[in-house]
Amino acid sequence: MIDYKVTIKEVNRICKEVGRFIELEQTRLCSQNVEEKGHNNFVTYVDKAAETLIIGELRSLITDADFLAEENTSNSEQNSADYRWIIDPIDGTTNFIHGVPCYSISIALEERGEIVAGTVYDVVNKECFWSIKHEPAFLNEKEIKVSKRANLADSLLVTGFPYRHGTALDQWMELFKYFLRNTHGVRRLGSAALDLAYVAAGRFEAFYEYGLSPWDVAAGGFIVQQAGGKVSDFGNKSDFIFSKQLISSNGLVHEPLQKLISEYLVDVSFE
């Protein structure tokens, strides 16, 4: 049994050190350093190098852990070890490429299929959101909680637009228009991990998106739960990490939000 408190302290240190590397390399980045994995889905040498640095450090913390990381082609959803790290070295690569100061490092630790620790590190703003099992959530060293707004009409939402829309794009935009007219507004940051961290900190009442990968949501979703919020897929099931669709909220607006999403996105394909 590992000591979660010792482990998360080391994870936060690793995030800050790799964050400094990412910031430095951002100033050197040029278009020749950018690869396209798919339509509007980019990767840079910085993503790959940052992931290598993170994995190298994490191996010394738990020597027999598996890894599920965005740029690692040897990944598998089948977890054979007791522990597995789920890693996104730069969540918000498009922002990073364009010099938009909104991207993050996301690291979650899974123990026998359960997330037990998570960190989302805002590289530019030096905000470290983290938590461990049986403990509250923190921003740096200050405890955070989800907001107490109980009505969607009083809520500020955040969402994203996936790389692939399937047949859902028209309905997704209709839902977006509904929320624009009936809430305090909808934001798009371009980093799902930060969207989730901001829900945990009470800055947004809810985040919803589809087309997500485990490394986008594992750490942030866990932190939302530890901050008193709720996370589910669009069908209100709690196993959201591999579902590719997610709703996270302060809990108070979760039910009406989930019902609206279900109504607008009936009979659509997300692939």
Checking DSSP bridges between strand 230-232 and strand 206-210, what pairing results, if any?
A: unpaired
The model's pTM: 0.92
Give the pLDDT of residue 25. Answer: 86
Each residue's pLDDT tens digit, 45-72: 888 999 999 999 999 999 999 999 988 7
CATH of 152-264, one of 3.40.190.80, 3.30.230.80, 3.20.20.70, 3.90.226.10: 3.40.190.80
Give the pLDDT of residue 205. Answer: 98
Fold agreement (4-144, 152-264): no
Q: Is-contact 68 83, C-beta < 8 A?
A: no
Give the pLDDT of residue 72. Answer: 73
Give the pLDDT of residue 12. Answer: 98
Collect all residues with Cβ–Cβ distance below 8 Å to 201 and sequence separation of at least 6: 129, 139, 144, 227
Q: Is-contact 113 105, C-beta < 8 A?
A: no
Q: Which two tokens stand for residue 227?
A: 């901050």
Handedness of CA 202, 206, 208, 213 (dihedral sign): positive
Give the pLDDT of residue 40. Answer: 42
CATH code that applies to domain 4-144: 3.30.540.10
C-alpha radius of gyration, the chain, whole number: 18
**Beta-sheet strand order (sheet of 245-249):** 185-187, 156-159, 206-210, 245-249, 230-232
Task: Flag residues of the chain having pLDDT under 50.
Answer: 31, 38-41, 73-74, 76
SS3 221: helix
Extents of the domains making up the chain? 4-144, 152-264
DSSP symbol at 252 = S
SS3 103: coil
